[in-house]
Structure 1
């Protein structure tokens, strides 16, 4: 509970004694480019192969002649949009983006750069961390969209190449009973995951004490806690949005 309270106070500190708006715009754009461009290749590789594996395994389990082969892409579509694209992508990004944020801030802390900012009267938490949080919340949804598209495209390629399903059947399955609310759920999840990963990682790095060994430990702790937070929030957000949809 002490750590949770400290984390919540840390979040509140991000929005106090803020700098000029233009500074945040520039720094947020820089952080968004760093997070998005540097993570694009990794997200593309992971999502494409996840789509391929999902298609092959789904087709292998559809052994009944009474089930149309278009069901393969329908199942892959729902798995990808609702779970694989937002959750798996965010867990992968927790390892890359989260460890980078924690390591960068931890290094700044032990080298006394953060203390120097405080001496100059700058709210170092707001100045350094808020642009990272905003940049992550901007780029995670875009990366999830890319991941979802490449996952489905990878499934299409391997399905047609192995003659598991024809191109027409795959597209027909994608269109069958498609619900736009699923895309909305995926994007909401990605924003929540981005906030949790960036703030938890920043918290671990910002309060690092010691030397280089402690920076590595902070990065490891940041990734571990971020992954746990993503999985817990995945259930909470999904339950909330499904309840909202049923009541609406």
Structure 2
């Protein structure tokens, strides 16, 4: 199958996904479960990575700007920009693509190879709407919260690293954070997060839903889903940056 055929099949899948759920209470239960599986269970790894990466960004910035002519407040300013613009929305979503993407592909793919999806369709249930739509909404609703949490913890980690290492003072770091604050950068990060969240939920679902074979095929599909999700996040990141910041 060519790339164009995959793209056409992907959009045909989305057309079936975005239909009105048959029973709202069943859909609500599925949505709450997906919020827990895709969102709540990812909080720990996002908090851990954000805190330490924020510290690394601040320390590296301080070491590279070690000059008496450059104010220490620039460290906080540079760390803030790096975390808000790229680290929190892009890097964290790539991490989620690996963790969540493989889960989505393997769970849906296992249902496909064990003929559970065929059973749903025989009963007249729109399997794509039933399985994929709650995942999309859970990602769109919860991942912006995760990214905001990553921003806060990343900036705090940078402050703590500077204070603990003595490379710069906490006051100068806070002054740098407050310097030239542009609220549009948060909007830009949230727009990227929503686009990335949609990719994270739909691309792995596509690979899982159309998998053919047995458990080995499901494993291959999970790997392909993570790779393609990451590629699409990087490409869309470039396009959104061109559209929104230039």
Q: Same fold (TM over 0.5)?
A: yes
Consecutive unaligned residues in structure 1, runs of 5 or more: 244-248
Consecutive unaligned residues in structure 2, runs of 5 or more: none
Matched, 1:30 2:33: yes
Q: Post-superposition shift, 1:17?
A: 6.2
Q: Report the equivalent of 2:85.
A: 82
Checking the alignment, whether the CA contact within 8 Å between 2:21 and 2:27 is kept in structure 1 is no
Q: Post-superposition shift, 1:21?
A: 3.1
Matched, 1:177 2:180: yes
Matched, 1:53 2:70: no
Paired residues, number: 243
Q: Post-superposition shift, 1:16?
A: 3.4
Matched, 1:99 2:86: no
Checking the alignment, whether the CA contact within 8 Å between 1:105 and 1:205 is kept in structure 2 is yes
**Which residues in structure 2 correspond to 1:1-248 (within 5 Å)?**
1-16=4-19, 18-243=21-246
Q: C-alpha separation between the residues in 2 aligned to 1:177 and 1:18?
A: 46
Deviating above 4 A after TM superposition, structure 1's stretches of 4 or more consecutive aligned residues are: none
Q: C-alpha separation between the residues in 2 aligned to 1:26 and 1:53?
A: 40
Q: Cα RMSD over matched residues?
A: 1.1
TM-score, normalised via structure 1 length = 0.95
Checking the alignment, whether the CA contact within 8 Å between 1:17 and 1:123 is kept in structure 2 is no
